[in-house]
């Protein structure tokens, strides 16, 4: 049977408990064999660079997933120059994993409006399954509005791979602000990740 692999890209600046909860939920619904966390350099659709350096973010992800046997981390995007395109990452994994591996790229429902702007969007849809995460408590997004931009086949594939993930009231932006203000974030982060942040004086 073909292996199912979830590719979970993000700045993870820092990685928090919400990322882990979402990854576990997605893996269960998809029936994935593994989840690969992919810290990004900088999204082509975002102006700002991550606050923490590449090594620090990679280290924090490694620490956060250390006890999850089916989770791993890849530095493939950190080794490439900007800008970082999703299609390049997908092709990297297609070249390094068995040919019959089924890849699922996780995206938040709030990113749907950006899909038509993605580099080689048609190839992204062809070469992997885009799994749209609809966070609990929010209306399911209407992907049919994208049909004129990405085509009916791509829209049907999006519908098929849509999943529902828990509503997690936490964001990396909020965590960075709280750390800078010397507020308690122990419930939002893995204890060892928090220790790493303090040891390396990140976000302060």
- 50 pLDDT above the threshold of 90: no
The long-range contacts involving 79-86, CB below 8 angstroms and separated by at least 24 positions, are 80/41, 81/41, 82/41, 82/42, 83/42, 83/43, 83/44, 84/40, 84/41, 84/42, 84/43, 84/44, 85/44, 85/118, 85/119, 85/120, 86/9, 86/118, 86/119, 86/124
Write out 64-113 in H/E/C secondary structure.
HCCCCCCEEECCCCCCCCCCCCHHHHHHHHHHHCCCCCEEEEEEEHHHHH
Give backbone dihedrals phi and psi of 85, rounded to 5 degrees, phi first. -105, 140
In a domain, 144, yes or no: yes
End-to-end CA distance of the chain: 48
Band of the pLDDT at 42, cuts 50, 70, 90?
low
> What integer is the mean pLDDT of 125-143?
80
In a domain, 192, yes or no: no
Inter-residue contact 49 to 186 (CB < 8 Å): no
Q: For the CA atoms of 6, 23, 112, 96, what is the dihedral angle to 10 degrees?
A: -20
Ramachandran region, residue 43 (left: φ > 0; alpha: ψ -120 to 50; beta: rest) = beta
> Which pLDDT tens digit goes with each residue over 66-77?
999 999 999 999
Domains in the chain, number: 1
Task: Please give the structure tokens belonging to residue 165.
Answer: 């993930």
In a domain, 196, yes or no: no
- 10 pLDDT above the threshold of 60: yes
pTM of the model: 0.91
> What integer is the mean pLDDT of 98-125?
88
CATH code assigned at 63:
3.40.50.620
In a domain, 193, yes or no: no
> Which pLDDT tens digit goes with each residue over 142-183?
777 778 777 788 888 888 888 888 888 889 999 999 999 999
In a domain, 159, yes or no: yes
In a domain, 124, yes or no: yes
Band of the pLDDT at 140, cuts 50, 70, 90?
low
Task: Please give the structure tokens belonging to residue 62.
Answer: 């490694």
User: What is the rounded CA–CA span in Å between residue 83 and residue 64?
Assistant: 26
- Which residue's structure tokens are 């297609």? 94
In a domain, 65, yes or no: yes
In this prediction, residue 145 carries a pLDDT of 74
User: 136: domain range?
Assistant: 4-169
In this prediction, residue 135 carries a pLDDT of 75
In a domain, 10, yes or no: yes
- 139 pLDDT above the threshold of 70: no
């Amino acid at each position: 049977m073909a292996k199912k692999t979830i590719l979970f890209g993000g700045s993870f600046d820092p990685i928090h408990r919400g990322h882990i909860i979402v990854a576990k939920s997605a893996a269960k619904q998809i029936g994935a064999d593994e989840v690969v966390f992919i810290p990004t350099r900088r999204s082509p659709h975002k102006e700002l660079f991550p606050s923490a350096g590449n090594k620090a973010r990679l280290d924090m992800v490694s620490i956060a997933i250390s006890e999850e046997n089916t989770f791993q981390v890849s530095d493939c995007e950190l080794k490439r120059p900007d800008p970082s395109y999703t299609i390049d990452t997908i092709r990297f994994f297609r070249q390094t994993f068995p040919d019959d591996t089924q890849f699922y790229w996780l995206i938040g429902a709030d990113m749907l409006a950006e899909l038509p702007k993605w580099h080689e969007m048609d190839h992204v849809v062809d070469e992997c399954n885009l799994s749209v995460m609809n966070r609990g408590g929010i209306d399911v997004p209407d992907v049919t509005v994208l049909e004129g931009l990405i085509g009916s086949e791509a829209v049907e594939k999006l519908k098929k791979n849509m999943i529902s993930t828990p509503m997690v009231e936490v964001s990396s932006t909020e965590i960075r602000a709280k750390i800078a203000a010397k507020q308690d974030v122990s419930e939002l982060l893995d204890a060892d990740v928090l220790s790493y942040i303090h040891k390396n004086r990140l976000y302060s």
